[in-house]
Amino acid sequence: MTRPIDQLEPFLIGGRCQWALLRGAADNLPLLLIIQAGPGLPVIHEAQSLERTLGLEQDFVVVYWDLRGCGKSFAALMAHDTLTVQRLVDDIGDMIACLQAHFPTRALFVLGFSVGATLAAIALHAASRGVSALVAVGMDIDMPATDQSAYAFVLDTARTRNHRSALRQLRDQLGSAPVTSAKRFMIRARWLAEFGAIDRRLRYRHLLTRELGRLLRCRHYTIRDRINAVRGMQRVADCLLPELAALNLCVAVPRFDIPLFLLNGRHDNLASPLILVPFHRQLLAPRGAYIVWFEDSAHMPHYEEPERFRATLRAIRDHGHQKNLDLELAIVNARAQLSYARRTP
């Protein structure tokens, strides 16, 4: 007999207690482990909004996991700890093992966003046994190239619009050097968002207000958790960004042994299509590597085109034979193209 699942659970991962929220319409559905964007962003506080927007809980038991140092798992990053990319990669492997031990007969999919997708790709390149697929949304692939292309985009846009405050901040406080601190990361994020490279519909103030509102309303966070979530964003970013600045998945992940789905907004000027396509071409992926373009999206297709995003996830969940999946994705793509054409003058 099946029943809905909605429970906050502690997991012992890498010797530290880390928290995840498990939600699904039935407790026998496949698992979908979310590795959130960042670095430093939690995800438990987004569960209600994501469920309302996407309804993935009808198709999966969704595992909203606050990584080490983030949100409700802030305390997992002790004062003396040095957080590294490898530590988070190992945590992802441990979390997958924990879920497989708790749900031994259940299919497990991993859904990563931005840097979260990058970390998940490294983890699953090393050990992917028992994982059905990785779905990577706006994945950061070549960090040096990303730094250069993102800076060029915001600088060119600021010049075109003669946006004096943007030009002043970009030249005086950011520059074209690698983004290696939380302060520089937030300056770049501000202008990427302001110029429509994160969400084409919303600007920086709206995105920031939305994020803070979700933190304040999250029933799973105490007052301390909310404060720690903000502290964790800066601390995790400061720890990881110097290391991430040199990361290139074209070198780190030359082969992928499970199906890989690259979901990308056509207007994404952070995870640029110019970087994604060469990575896809050179990747050795015996089980299949797919690019799914979201024509009306930037960096957040899950919020910008939610119906198509959910249809894509459902097709991935249900795929058996590769030809069947190709057909299902083609149908989803055709419907999206028709909808996009109707909206475009």
pLDDT in tens, 228-237: 999 999 999 9
Position with higher pLDDT, 224 vs 339: 224
Q: What is the domain count for the chain? A: 1
| 3-state DSSP assignment of residue 111 | strand
Helices (H) and strands (E) in the chain, counts: 13, 8
Instruction: Please check whether residue 260 lies inside any domain of the structure.
Output: yes
Output the six-digit token pair for 144.
């040096």
Amino acid symbol at 96: I
Instruction: Please check whether residue 158 lies inside any domain of the structure.
Output: no
For residue 62, the cross-strand partners are 23, 32
Asked whether the predicted pLDDT for residue 319 surpasses 80, the reply is no
Mean pLDDT across the stretch 76-87?
Answer: 84
Mean pLDDT across the stretch 59-63?
Answer: 97
Average pLDDT over the chain, rounded to an integer: 91
Nearest CA to 67 out of 85, 51, 48, 49 is that of 85
Q: What are phi and psi of 159, to 5 degrees?
A: -65, -45
List, in sequence order, the alpha helices (H) in 195-266: 204-217, 223-244, 249-252
d(CA 141, CA 144): 9
Instruction: Please check whether residue 184 lies inside any domain of the structure.
Output: no
**Any idea which of 19-33, 73-87, 292-306 has the lowest mean pLDDT?**
73-87
- What is the per-residue pLDDT across 234-260, written as a single tens digit (0 to 9) for each? 999 999 999 999 999 999 999 999 999
pLDDT of residue 342: 53
Helix (H) or strand (E) holding 114: none
Q: What are phi and psi of 229, to 5 degrees?
A: -60, -40
Asked whether the predicted pLDDT for residue 171 surpasses 60, the reply is yes
pTM for the whole thing?
A: 0.92
pLDDT of residue 131: 96
What value does the CA radius of gyration of the chain take, rounded to a whole number of Å?
19
Percent of the chain past pLDDT 70, that is, above it, reads 92
- What is the per-residue pLDDT across 93-152, written as a single tens digit (0 to 9) for each? 999 999 999 999 899 999 999 999 999 999 999 889 999 999 999 999 999 999 999 999
Asked whether the predicted pLDDT for residue 320 surpasses 70, the reply is no
d(CA 181, CA 238): 5
- What is the per-residue pLDDT across 34-46, written as a single tens digit (0 to 9) for each? 999 889 999 999 9
d(CA 319, CA 183): 43
Instruction: Please check whether residue 155 lies inside any domain of the structure.
Output: no
Asked whether the predicted pLDDT for residue 332 surpasses 70, the reply is no
CATH of the domain at 310: 3.40.50.1820
Instruction: Please check whether residue 287 lies inside any domain of the structure.
Output: yes
pLDDT of residue 139: 96
pLDDT of residue 287: 84
pLDDT of residue 335: 61
Residue 296 sits in which domain range? 5-143+250-343
Mean pLDDT across the stretch 181-201?
Answer: 95
Instruction: Please check whether residue 266 lies inside any domain of the structure.
Output: yes
Asked whether the predicted pLDDT for residue 268 surpasses 90, the reply is yes
Confidence of residue 82 (pLDDT cuts 50, 70, 90): confident
**Inter-residue contact 264 to 273 (CB < 8 Å):** yes
pLDDT of residue 177: 85
